[in-house]
Chains A and B, each alone.
Chain A
Amino acid sequence: MNEREIHVTVNGDTRSWSVAPGELLLDVLRREAYWGVKRGCETGECGACAVLLDGQPVNSCLMFAAQADGRRLLTIEGVAHGDRLDPLQEAFLDHGAVQCGYCTPAMVLCTRALLERRADPTEDEVREALSGVLCRCTGYRKPVEAVLAAAKTRSAAAKPKSARRKGAAR
């Protein structure tokens, strides 16, 4: 078979994989035990397979593994720091935003990308960021609340100490 070797940085680790020409990124990721990347539709509509490619959300079911060569990927497995959950993950748990959890990795990744570029998003912006992740369990309300709460937590944590002491307004 005409396998090629690709080198991808996943969650900070450099991985080298042998992939067939037609292999899709979702299949390779799950084959390599990144089981947090979910298979939901394989047509790019449900978003459960979303990963961050160089910081931007993409549907891994529509990408050829070969196209990930030399790129940086973030999957849900790379979001927490060891035992320490990301503020988004904490917020999802605190706000009851996780029911079956199948879409949760995609929701966390897509909103993390949002918070990286918009520290103080509006509700509409959060809904837009989530619009490519289908959820059948939550009605989206608690995930949206969780993201807005996480935005506040992240902003507070990012403030320099002196500003926080003075209670400076944003």
Chain B
Amino acid sequence: MSQHRVVGRRVRKVDGTKLVTGRTAFTDDFEMPGMLIGKILGSPHAHARITRIDTRRAKALPGVHAVLTYQDVPRVPHTTAGQGWPEPSPYDTYLLDSKVRFVGDRVAAVAAESRAIAEEALRRIDVEYEVLPAVLDMEHAMDPGVAVIHDEPDSSHILDPSRNLVGEIHKELGSVEEGFRQADLILEREYRTPRQQHAMLEPHIAIAWLDADDRLVIRTSTQIPFHVRRQVAMILQIPVGRIRVVKPRIGGGFGGKQEQVIDDICAALALATRRPVKLEYTRHEEFFMARTRHPQILKLRMGVRKDGTIVAHHMQVLAATGAYGSHATTVQGNTGSKVLPLYRVPNLKFDCRIVYLNTPQAGAFRGYGCPQGFFAQESLVDEIAHELKMDPIEFRLRNAIRKGDVDELSAQLGEGRRGLPRVMRSCGLPQCLEQGAAAIGWKEKRGKGRRSAGRIRRGVGVACSMQGSGIAGVDFAGAFFKLNEDGSFNLQVGATDLGTGSDTVLAQIAAETLGVSLDKIIIYSSDTDFTPFDVGAYASSTTIISGGAVKKAAEKTRDQVCCFAAKLLETSPEELTCRDDRVFAPDGKSVSMSEVALFALYKEKTQLMEGASHFNTDSPPPFCATFAEVEVDTETGQVSVPHLVTAVDLGVAINPMQAEGQAEGAVAQGLGYALAEELVLDDAGRVVNANFCDYKIFTAKDMPRLTTILVETEEPLGPYGAKSIAEVPINGVAPAVANAVFDATGIRFRTLPIRPDAVLKALREQRAAT
């Protein structure tokens, strides 16, 4: 039970009532007179030049107010990645271009009086293409003679455009060559991970208009309102101060909205028509015109001593970023920097290459490079433990990073710039493993499957993982309080609640620090005119960074409250404490927060208000142990998961109920990644399964029994000891499932998703071999 009054409590979301009653809350729950519908004409070709584009017939259609092509808009190279400026992603994207680089890439955009007219207008745009060879295979994207995807001279920060090479990363700690010489056992394996799609329930949507002061207002479903403002300003060449970005409630993002996907084109249409314009992706468009997870091929080579100590680990990654390079080096950098340090290995080497392809664009997605890396690493570690006949948990504990350790690799592999070393000031991984193992029934269930002859083989598997909490030295947030007559506080934060419950968590931190009840905090977030800056919701930063800003600002506010209260109580401010909506003097006399407010406003003629900014110079990792129990039907190859246990060291849970919910949602996505989700492309680069019928996400009937264990440690760098939980629970699911399948069948699967036909084939080969 929490020792605090508000922090640590399973309180209802502060915005819960409006969500559960369906009140107008989301971007589309909004009407403006004269609003037009915007639509994008997407390329039918994976790689082509537009040799002729004629919009006259489209413009002539009654009800069409604007048709834009590359000839009508400024050409400003930029990235759409939701990152701080200057973004560590190539500037290789254009509002509209004369070249298209994936099926669905922007050819033109229209704004019309109805959806039907807009769709008809798209059909009336006459385009001639010079079709170019499509580069679709990441293993051959750099071959000599292969078509060059970014041959334009004005893009920048691409390592070698002539070879479709976005970037490379090479880092070494110690010497792996030396390390391998010390090894008694070396295993080298290759792993492949797919394009996963966010599939959030609310598609990308934006509404843009010019207000009465001719300022551009963008109401948008985004995780990054401030980055959107800055990027749209740059792309449309208007001042930042002339733009206001407002984020209403969001129907999910998971990193897919850590990206400026349609705001620029929607705004361009609003400027061209001088009318409000709504642009929303259809579900079909979501699947190939938005973003995906980076598919990777990972080659791992690990050397161990026979006592189980890892002495060397060399990870090589080839990744495809798709047609444009947003998040290319940072996601893949994470595959190294957040995955390799889980184990204390003196000799580490990370080599990575990221290539362009004429496929849908990859970007940020929950885990941000870690699901790929942990699938590979935790599968390999499991295999090595098996070779050594060591218990997989014991093997991990032996090598795992500990409290007090310093992760030097992070310093080398910062997100796009020189990073900072990470000190493990809190680490609950051993408790996560212990409690998780007990919950899954590890001892009773392990090792039974391979010996069974039945049709259904059962097994259990484990995987460990870590993440970060905010980007050290980069992510920052501002928070601002002002006090009202009734003792309520307006709390303005730039932080972005995308359904994660951050409004609630931040309000809890505020209420706790100010000594008031939760309902006295009126939180308003993510409006670039009215809230202070915040980088946005990504990198598991909101609780620790935005929460840190809230706590700082609340402390300053509390100090000011005490100053005023001191006058009323005729004592000195340092003697006062705030709790239960009142300010108490040591002798027991008190005044209410409301009395303080009235005094300040009407007697002292001061608005009691305070703000603060916050960032960290470290990124304390949450730790996670994931345990999966699987059943493999040897006749159909289907893998089902009756039980999945997640034990997470999240620091302190500000709201345990929300934290569990985050973990459980992440697990559902991890299960999809492990068993069912994959964007399939045909040989012309088209997504074949661009719908929910054939892009399978888990339903309520598919989900296993979930056990979620919150292991609390106290992280000095986090408000009230908090770290994060938004991403880490996704990382261990695929390897835990794969390791459980091994326990059940004796077969290792190194390609995700683990499809029934692959399982069946492998089982057949296994039978034939014995």
A positions within 8 Å CB-CB of B: 30, 33, 35-43, 45-46, 48, 75-77, 79-80, 85, 89, 92-105, 108, 126-128, 130-144
- Give min CB distance, B700 to chain A, whole Å: 4
B658 interfacial by beta-carbon distance below 8 Å: yes
Q: Are A135 and B201 in contact (CB under 8 A)?
A: yes
Q: Are A142 and B700 in contact (CB under 8 A)?
A: no
From B22, B202, B666, give the contact of A35 (CB < 8 A). B22
Q: Which residue of A lies closest to B657 (CB)?
A: A96
What is the CA–CA distance of A80 and B661 in the complex, to the nearest angstrom? 24
Q: Are A101 and B700 in contact (CB under 8 A)?
A: no
Interface of A is mostly: loop
Q: List 17 A-B contacts (CB under 8 A).
A: A39-B28, A40-B283, A41-B691, A85-B20, A85-B21, A96-B10, A99-B499, A101-B16, A101-B20, A102-B26, A130-B699, A134-B697, A134-B699, A136-B200, A138-B661, A139-B667, A139-B703
Q: Are A140 and B500 in contact (CB under 8 A)?
A: no
Q: Are B249 and A100 in contact (CB under 8 A)?
A: yes
Q: Are A35 and B24 in contact (CB under 8 A)?
A: yes
- Chain A residues with CB below 8 A from B642, complex form: none
B767 interfacial by beta-carbon distance below 8 Å: no
Q: Are B199 and A136 in contact (CB under 8 A)?
A: yes
Q: Are A131 and B26 in contact (CB under 8 A)?
A: no
From B249, B668, B691, give the contact of A101 (CB < 8 A). B249
B693 interfacial by beta-carbon distance below 8 Å: yes
- Give min CB distance, A89 to chain B, whole Å: 4
**0/1 interface trace, chain B 249-292, chain A, CB 8 Å (1 if under):** 11110100000000000000000000000001011000000000
- Chain B residues with CB below 8 A from A85, complex form: 17, 20-21
- Chain B residues with CB below 8 A from A105, complex form: 22
Q: Which residue of A lies closest to B250 (CB)?
A: A100
B12 interfacial by beta-carbon distance below 8 Å: yes
Q: Are A104 and B19 in contact (CB under 8 A)?
A: yes
Q: Are A98 and B21 in contact (CB under 8 A)?
A: no
Say yes or no: A101-B251 contact (C-beta < 8 A), given A36-B23, A144-B700. yes
What is the CA–CA distance of A136 and B200 in the complex, to the nearest angstrom? 6
Q: Which residue of A lies closest to B252 (CB)?
A: A100
Point out which of A103, A138, A141 has the most chain B C-beta atoms below 10 A from its C-beta.
A141
Q: Are A93 and B202 in contact (CB under 8 A)?
A: no
What is the CA–CA distance of A40 and B286 in the complex, to the nearest angstrom? 10
Q: Are B19 and A98 in contact (CB under 8 A)?
A: yes
A-B contact number at CB 8 A? 174
- Chain A residues with CB below 8 A from B605, complex form: none
From A94, A102, A133, give the contact of B252 (CB < 8 A). A102
- Give min CB distance, B655 to chain A, whole Å: 8
Q: Are B251 and A108 in contact (CB under 8 A)?
A: no
B positions within 8 Å CB-CB of A: 10, 12-13, 15-17, 19-26, 28-29, 31, 198-203, 249-252, 254, 280, 282-283, 498-501, 657-658, 660-662, 664-669, 691-693, 697-701, 703, 706, 708
- Chain B residues with CB below 8 A from A141, complex form: 664, 703, 706, 708
Q: Are B21 and A36 in contact (CB under 8 A)?
A: yes
What is the CA–CA distance of A133 and B200 in the complex, to the nearest angstrom? 13
What is the CA–CA distance of A35 and B621 in the complex, to the nearest angstrom? 40
Q: Are A137 and B499 in contact (CB under 8 A)?
A: yes
Q: Are A35 and B706 in contact (CB under 8 A)?
A: no
Q: Which residue of A lies closest to B703 (CB)?
A: A140
From A42, A131, A138, give the contact of B701 (CB < 8 A). A131
What is the CA–CA distance of A8 and B202 in the complex, to the nearest angstrom? 27
Say yes or no: A80-B21 contact (C-beta < 8 A), given A99-B665, A127-B700, A143-B700. yes
- Chain A residues with CB below 8 A from B658, complex form: 96
- Chain A residues with CB below 8 A from B660, complex form: 96, 142
What is the CA–CA distance of A142 and B703 in the complex, to the nearest angstrom? 12
- Give min CB distance, B141 to chain A, whole Å: 31
Q: Are B283 and A99 in contact (CB under 8 A)?
A: no
Q: Are A42 and B201 in contact (CB under 8 A)?
A: no
What is the CA–CA distance of A92 and B17 in the complex, to the nearest angstrom? 10
Q: Are B12 and A134 in contact (CB under 8 A)?
A: no
- Give min CB distance, B380 to chain A, whole Å: 27
- Chain A residues with CB below 8 A from B28, complex form: 30, 35, 39
- Chain B residues with CB below 8 A from A126, complex form: 700
What is the CA–CA distance of A103 and B664 in the complex, to the nearest angstrom? 16
Q: Are A100 and B661 in contact (CB under 8 A)?
A: no
What is the CA–CA distance of A126 and B703 in the complex, to the nearest angstrom? 13
What is the CA–CA distance of A135 and B251 in the complex, to the nearest angstrom? 10
What is the CA–CA distance of A151 and B522 in the complex, to the nearest angstrom? 33
Q: Are B699 and A101 in contact (CB under 8 A)?
A: no
What is the CA–CA distance of A8 and B220 in the complex, to the nearest angstrom? 33
What is the CA–CA distance of A37 and B22 in the complex, to the nearest angstrom? 8
Q: Are A76 and B657 in contact (CB under 8 A)?
A: no
- Chain A residues with CB below 8 A from B691, complex form: 41, 43, 45
Q: Which residue of B lies closest to A75 (CB)?
A: B22
Q: Which residue of A lies closest to B646 (CB)?
A: A139
- Chain A residues with CB below 8 A from B697, complex form: 134, 136
Q: Are B21 and A42 in contact (CB under 8 A)?
A: no
